[in-house]
Every structure is written in C-alpha cells, then in structure tokens.
Structure 1
Amino acid sequence: MAARNRSLNLKPGRARQVLTLTHPNAAGIDIGSASHYVAVPPDRDDEPVREFKSFTADLHALADWLQACGVDTVAMESTGVYWIPLYELLDRRGFTVLLVNARHVKNVSGRKSDVLDCQWLQQLMTYGLLRGAFRPADAVCALRSLSRQREMLLKSQGRQVQHMQKALTQMNIQLANVISDVVGETGQKILRAIVAGERDGQVLAAMKNVRIRATTEEIAKSLEGNWRAEHLFALKQALAAFDFIGTQLAECDCELAAQLASLQAHAGTPAKGKRRGRARNAPKFDLRAQLFQMCGVDLTRIDGIDVTTALVVVSEVGTDMSRFPTVKHFACWLGLCPGTKITGGKVLSGKTKRCANRAAQALRLAAAALRSSQSALGAYFRRMCARMDKPKAVTAAAHKLARLIYTMLTKGEEYTDQGQDYYEERYRQRVLRQLSQRAEKLGMKLVVSEQPA
C-alpha cells in the first residue's frame, strides 16, 4: 500500500495546482421570476446575502448595493428570460457580467436553496471556475431579436396554411393534389374566389397560371366538394389570419432593413456570383447587398448558403469573431465539433453535444441542400454520406461551412469554389499518397497506371 501511495505522488519539479483568487470582487446572483438572491464576499457587508424583487426600482437598488460593496464581476444563471433585464442594467452600469449555464454550476446534491445557489455561484466565480456564455453586442442583439421575430411569424403563417389545407380536405376539395402550392399565385386566386362565394369549378380553374402543369379539367374536377358552411368559415378565418401575418411580416422586414442599415461598416456592392433564384421566404428588399455592407464579404458565395441562412448566422453571431480565439472554438460553440467522452484512455463516444443553436440549425439545413450541388462542397457532402449515416454527414458538412464563414469574417477573403473535379482530384492524390506510404512499410512499391479518359 505504501508503494502504491508513493506512486501517486507528484513527480519532482511539477508544481501542485492550487486554487487562487482570480476575481476577489465577484458576486453571485440566483435569478428568479419574482425575486433575485445576491451574494457578495462575506467581508463586504454585515448581510452578505440579500433578496431583491424583480421590479425595476429594486434592480437599481441591487446595482447600487453591488457598487457599494466594491463588486466588479457578477455571475448569474441563465434562467429562462428573467435574466435579460438585470443583465442589461448591470452591463450599462459598468459591471463585468457572466451568464453561466445552470448545468455547469450544480451544487452538492441534497443541498438546494436560493441562498446556497447564489453563494455557490459567488465562490466559483471568485476562483475563476466559471465561463460566461457568448452574447453579441447590443446592436447585433437587436438584429437577432428581429430575425427571431420574423422566423416566428413565418412559422405562424405556415400553421395558417395547414389550417387552409385541412378545411379544403374536409370539404373534399383536392386542390393540393393538382397544384404544388395552395398559397401560390394560382392557389391564392382560387381560395379568395371560393371565400367570395364562387363555386363553379370551370370558373375557378380558369384562374390558373400558364406554368401550372395540370389541365383546366383536372383543376375543375379537384374543386368538386360538399361546401359545408363550417368548413368555409374556417377557410375564411385562416385566409384572413394569413393576410394579417403577411402585414406583420412586411412591418418586420422594414424594421430589419433599418437595423441592417445602421450596422453597415463597408461600402460597395457584392460581385455577381452564381445565378440563384430568390429564396421563398426571403425579405423583399436587397438583403444580400445589406449583408455584404455589414460583413465586408459575400457569404452567399458559399454553396448551400442563401441570404436567409446568412441572415440567421450573422444575426446570431455578428461579424466580430474576436470572442472565438480559433475556428475550433467557434465550431464548439455551434455544437458542430466531435465530442470528447474519454475514460481510462478509451474513447467512449465522439457524438456532438446537443444544443439548441439557431445558427447551427441553419447551417445543417444548408448542408443538407448540398446533396445535388456540383461543387467541391457538394462532392465532400456526398463522400461523407458514403462513409457514414446521413445525420453525421450533415453535421460534418455544416462544420465545414462554419469554418468557411469564420475564415471569411476574420480574414475578409471571398470564397471561390474550385469545383467538383478539383475536389475529386485532390481526394485521389491523397488516397494514392496514403497507399504509397503503406506499400513502403510492407516493402513494396505502388505503381500507378494512368487510365484512359
């Protein structure tokens, strides 16, 4: 036993790590919906733990008490959205505020109270054991809020489309089986005519656009139904709600354009790239030009990334990448890098961590769109699909997209696609080099025979 104990001692010359006070003026705050519990160092006040209500006047009193106690660093849990008013107030008052993940600051099991939680946060922050979450600048936060509001409106509008289709199906109106989109030009004309009282299938079918493949007879046949009053009423209300949300989307787009204009830091317009159709749910203004004037580079030159994807990434992260020292830190924050679950020197799992990151979700959707792309990124994605299952391949391609975005925003360089053939040739050369090295280890020599084109 003594020999075993001696073997566990530190080697000579290796210093023992000792916890040091890195933030002696730190405070911890346990966030709640109705009140917040605040803990300061015990030697700063006779009552080092206090409770403050969540009213604005009490929040100002909280900040005044922290300043009186000589606090300069504050750690708080990310509880719902209750932390936002206090975070913004303390940040304006000059405090260094760290928003920490509640999963990373769990106390000893069996000891759980608001007073103990804020004291535990204060102790961890004093010794520098906490890391704050990423939060962009205020102007980018405003852009992010507008972008999320627009996404919520689009989801609400999509639910109204589902209500329209349900009402049509209940009346046995099979319009969705002959035209691809019931809220397109043709579908909107027919639906509004139905709500206005038109029931003749031939008259309704005559409203179709010339690009509709279905014939007039097929459309008229699909519009034969029972026309029940309750279902017509549901269709009318769903169409009215769809129009109302469309008005709100137009207002949100105006606010979004104004906020992007206030964030312009570069002049000029983006160079002409590949001709792409306008994204279905993209704003009506020139979003690509405004994103270019904000970032200084055109992110839509990357295959798979359209203007809506670029808007989501820029609104969630911003253009200042100084908070991420390397591209690996950026990929880790997105949750697109492999996990490190290792014990006993054995890798148990390399699965990526689960996180609800909107930018990562947008990049995954962009990566899935590379399936039919005749580009280097498209070839990479298809090769990943051949090696692993589809979700892992999507994550790998999204990780590559994230690396490209980080490089463009940090170095200010435009992305140039080398093409599918360039990627395939590089892959071929890499495989030949690996095979040559393996043959040399076995005492052989690899001879490459050129195949005719």
Structure 2
Amino acid sequence: MSKYKKPKKQDLEMNLLSQINPNAAGIDIGADRHWVSVPAGRDEENIRSFACFTADLYAMAEWLKQCGVDTVAMESTGVYWIPVFQILESRGFDVKLVNAHYVKTVPGRKTDVLDCQWLQQLHTYGLLSGSFRPEDQICKLRSYIRQRDNLIKSACVHVQRMQKALTQMNIQLHRVISDITGTTGLSIIRAIVSGEQNPIKLATLKDGRIKASLEEIAASLTGDYRPELVFILEQELQLYEFYQTQIQKCDTQIEQCLASFTDKVDVEKKPLAKPKRRGKKQPGNAPQFDLRTHLYRISGVDFTAVDGLGALTVLVLLSEVGLDPTRFPTVKHFTSWLGLCPGSRVTGGKVKSSKTRPVASRAATAFRMAAQTLCRSHSALGAYYRRMQSRMGAPKAITATAHKLARIFYRLWTSGEHYTDPGIDVYEQQYRDRILKNLKIKAQAFGLELIPISTPTECVS
C-alpha cells in the first residue's frame, strides 16, 4: 500500500445539490493498482492507492471501514473489477460498478487520482447508477453457462477443420448427410482415420434414418485419401471429442448447480405439462439431463411454453437476468436494459433517431435468436414476425419480435402465470379488426363512411 500526497485544495463541492450518499467512496480500478478516494476529513490522506494482490484488497476494505464508508462506486473495464467487487461485497459494502462510458467525457479529469475523486463526488450526490449484477448463486451458474458456450464455440472450430480436410480430399460427405458430427458422420470419420478407405464399406456405416442411398454415400466417399490430410482429420477429430468430453463435465456441474437452487414450485404436486412440440429433435448441443424440469422448479414458470424459447435458451436467460424480477421495476426498464426497445434521441423537439441502443448482452442475443426461429412457426408470434418482416425486413423484424418475446418473458417472470398461445387465426383476426378500425377513423375524418362490399352470391341474387 502506498499513500498519495494530498494535492492542492480544489473546489469539489456542489453547493446546489444535497448529499445522497455522504459515506461514499470512489475507486478507479487498474491492472496493477487501484486508487481509492473517501470523503474529506475521514483520514489524514483521503486518497490512497492499493496493489492488486488479495492482501492489499483486504487492507483496502479495512481502511474503508475505518473511514466510515458504506457504499462504493468503481469504474473499470475488462475483468479487473471482479475480485475487488466480490471482496468488498462480502465485507458488507454496497458496491456499484459504473459504466465507464457515463463518466469518460468529463473534461480535465484524465488521471487515476482525479478519476477516483470524481467518482466519489458523483456517487456522494447520487448521480451514478450501478450496472446490473445478479445474486452470487446466479453468477456461479452464469460462469458455467458461459464456459459451456466457449467450449461449444471451440468445438465448432474443429468441426470446420474436419470439413476442410474432407473437402481437400474431395470427400463430399456433407452433400449426402446433414451433419458430419452426427451418428453416421462420426462413424465414417472414425473409420477413415482408422485406415478404412473403401467407399462401399464406409457407406455401410450409415444410420437407418439417413435418406441417402448406399450408392450415393459411397460416391461421396470416393476421394484422394492423402496421408497428411488423414493425419489432420485424425487430430481434429480427437480435439473435437475432447471438447465434447469437457462439455459433458460442464453439464454435470450445471446440473449440480441447478439442484442447489431453492424450489419455487413442488414438481410432484404441480407437475410440469408435457411439451406441445412433440417429436421435435433436440439441439445437438443440448444437455443430456432434464433441463426443462429444473428450470420450472427454480423459477415456478414454464417459459418453454412460449414459442421460440427452448430449454437451453431459457437457461441462458435465467443465468443472465437471475430469478428476482424486482431488479427491473417495469417491463420498460427490462427491455431498455436489453437494448431491444426503440431509442429516444430527441433534440430541439425533433426526433433525431429511434434506433435501438447498441448493447452487448447475451440475454438480448438469446431473445434475438429465439425470434429468428419463429419465421415458420404456426403461432401468433410466428404471424407477428412474418408481418413485421414484410413491412420492415428481416433484421428489424427480428428486433421487434425479440422485444415482444422479452415483454412476454417479463410478464410470466413477474406474475408466474402460464402462457397460452392465442393462435395464428386469432392474431390475423385482431390485425384485420385493427386495420378496419383505423380505416373507419380516417373515413370519419373526411366525412365518409365505410360500407362492406356484398359477396358475389348476394349480388347474383
């Protein structure tokens, strides 16, 4: 720990504002040192710097306690803030992580010392809002989910390399089967790396569900089996299988973590309804345990009843937003945090832009991917997506549908109700009634009246 010599006295008081947090401190997080500022008069030196080692972080917490601090605001990028946040939170401090974008444009304050002073002053007058961070148990689940996502992405890289090696050998296996990492594809690839090059024998390894004939598969497996490419294929296969093993281990940890959550509903007394989408193939990266029941037990709501929200998508959403909906006072707060609602850039009474705010959110990405799956859905949400797509194009339709999904999710999240799809016919009728209502209003504005056209049968009679 090192002390900073107190600078010349500057006028940092905002006389026109009242102090909301008189016991506030500000921390500017760095890679190797953290600068901390406490209110003047709490210590001989109200600005100190601490190293990034754990012992120094505990010393920081002790010094803040001695100075009578009860709330802390910190500014950081990357992941340097996490140890500081967790240690201070465990010591009873109210910690707020501030988005660096909100305070980066302050003129004349470009040093670590002045940054921590500025954070402390802004937090004293209640001008900073902390970033959302769920409870610790959800953070643990979120770490497992994000690690699982990283493993899946790494495995996909090796799938692409296997496909490249097959293409270089002119083995067109992907032309006759939909997935080279399925049962048939992996069986054939394992046989190739084991030394088998006879197309007829390789084709006999196909699964009975494959529609392509033996002759078509054999023709696709006739290629130039160069030794160096077979070697590359073998290594990429081993790496892919290694990542699959790691994903299974991660799934075990996720299941154990979900089992530790408190039950919000008794599954035996109030069992989960059967899924309405029967016979639909599970995603290839889906966990091998009953994930849907776990999610229903800990949340009390069957989110998978909403079209587009699968069990894996709901798992990602709950791991990002948590189980406490009170952190978002209204649905508008929730959709704004996701960056799915229209923006409101108004200057001089004129709307400059209504584009959605750019947000790096895994939850928003999950809602967008769920919305994209509704393009062929025979549901009200599917009809809504196609209606928006015809008006605004696919990208904006995805955002609009993701916004609607987020609103439905929030309603179920807060009320605990069961979702019932009104159906595509009900949605189309509501849309037709809305159009007729607007046309009648326009006609009345011009002193006109809408008259239904008689059917051809009535005209003939």
Q: Shift in Å at residue 447 of structure 1?
A: 2.2
Alpha-carbon contact 1:264-1:290 (below 8 Å) kept:
no
Q: 1:327 aligns with which of 313, 328, 331?
A: 331
Paired AA for residue 74 in structure 2: M
Q: Within 5 A, what are the aligned runs for 1:194-205?
A: 194-205=192-203
Paired AA for residue 30 in structure 2: G
Q: Shift in Å at residue 384 of structure 1?
A: 0.8
**Matched residue, 2:180:** 182
**Matched residue, 1:44:** 42
User: Which string of whole-angstrom CA distances, capped at 9 and with x for unpartnered residues, describes residues 280-324 of structure 1?
Assistant: 211000000000001101001000111111111011011211010
**Matched residue, 2:369:** 365
The separation in 2 between residues aligned to 1:316 and 1:450, in whole angstroms, is 55
Paired AA for residue 155 in structure 2: Q
Q: Shift in Å at residue 109 of structure 1?
A: 3.5
Q: Note if 1:270 corresponds to 2:272.
A: yes
Q: Shift in Å at residue 439 of structure 1?
A: 1.5
User: Which string of whole-angstrom CA distances, capped at 9 and with x for unpartnered residues, describes residues 383-422 of structure 1?
Assistant: 1111112111101100010011111011010100010000
Q: 2:413 aligns with which of 393, 396, 409?
A: 409
Alpha-carbon contact 1:381-1:397 (below 8 Å) kept:
yes
The separation in 1 between residues aligned to 2:88 and 2:316, in whole angstroms, is 28
The separation in 2 between residues aligned to 1:114 and 1:345, in whole angstroms, is 38
User: Which string of whole-angstrom CA distances, capped at 9 and with x for unpartnered residues, describes residues 17-64 of structure 1?
Assistant: 942111111100001111101011122112111110010100000000
**Matched residue, 1:71:** 69
Q: Note if 1:422 corresponds to 2:426.
A: yes
Paired AA for residue 48 in structure 1: N
Alpha-carbon contact 2:28-2:76 (below 8 Å) kept:
no
Alpha-carbon contact 2:97-2:131 (below 8 Å) kept:
yes
- TM-score normalised over the length of structure 2: 0.92
Q: Note if 1:436 corresponds to 2:449.
A: no
The separation in 2 between residues aligned to 1:447 and 1:128, in whole angstroms, is 60
Q: Within 5 A, what are the aligned runs for 1:28-427?
A: 28-265=26-263, 266-268=265-267, 269-274=271-276, 275=278, 276-427=280-431
Alpha-carbon contact 1:26-1:71 (below 8 Å) kept:
yes
Q: Shift in Å at residue 124 of structure 1?
A: 0.8
Q: Shift in Å at residue 449 of structure 1?
A: 4.2
Structure 1 residue runs without a partner (length 5+): 1-16
Once the two structures are overlaid, the 10-residue window that deviates more, 431-440 or 44-53, is 431-440
Q: Shift in Å at residue 263 of structure 1?
A: 1.3
The separation in 2 between residues aligned to 1:432 and 1:132, in whole angstroms, is 47
- TM-score normalised over the length of structure 1: 0.94
Once the two structures are overlaid, the 10-residue window that deviates more, 283-292 or 257-266, is 257-266
Alignment: residue pair count: 437
The separation in 2 between residues aligned to 1:56 and 1:235, in whole angstroms, is 45
Runs of 4+ aligned residues of structure 1 deviating over 4 Å after TM superposition are 449-453
Alpha-carbon contact 2:96-2:131 (below 8 Å) kept:
yes
The separation in 2 between residues aligned to 1:287 and 1:413, in whole angstroms, is 20
The separation in 2 between residues aligned to 1:47 and 1:20, in whole angstroms, is 24
The separation in 1 between residues aligned to 2:455 and 2:337, in whole angstroms, is 45
- Root mean square deviation, CA, Å: 1.5
Percent identity reads 57
Q: Shift in Å at residue 451 of structure 1?
A: 5.5
The separation in 2 between residues aligned to 1:417 and 1:313, in whole angstroms, is 21
Alpha-carbon contact 2:30-2:76 (below 8 Å) kept:
no
SS of the residue corresponding to residue 309 of structure 2 reads coil
Q: Shift in Å at residue 65 of structure 1?
A: 0.4
Paired AA for residue 384 in structure 1: M
SS of the residue corresponding to residue 430 of structure 1 reads helix
Alpha-carbon contact 1:270-1:297 (below 8 Å) kept:
no
Residues 452 and 398 of structure 1, relative CA distance in 2, 3 Å threshold: farther
SS of the residue corresponding to residue 445 of structure 1 reads coil
Paired AA for residue 260 in structure 2: S
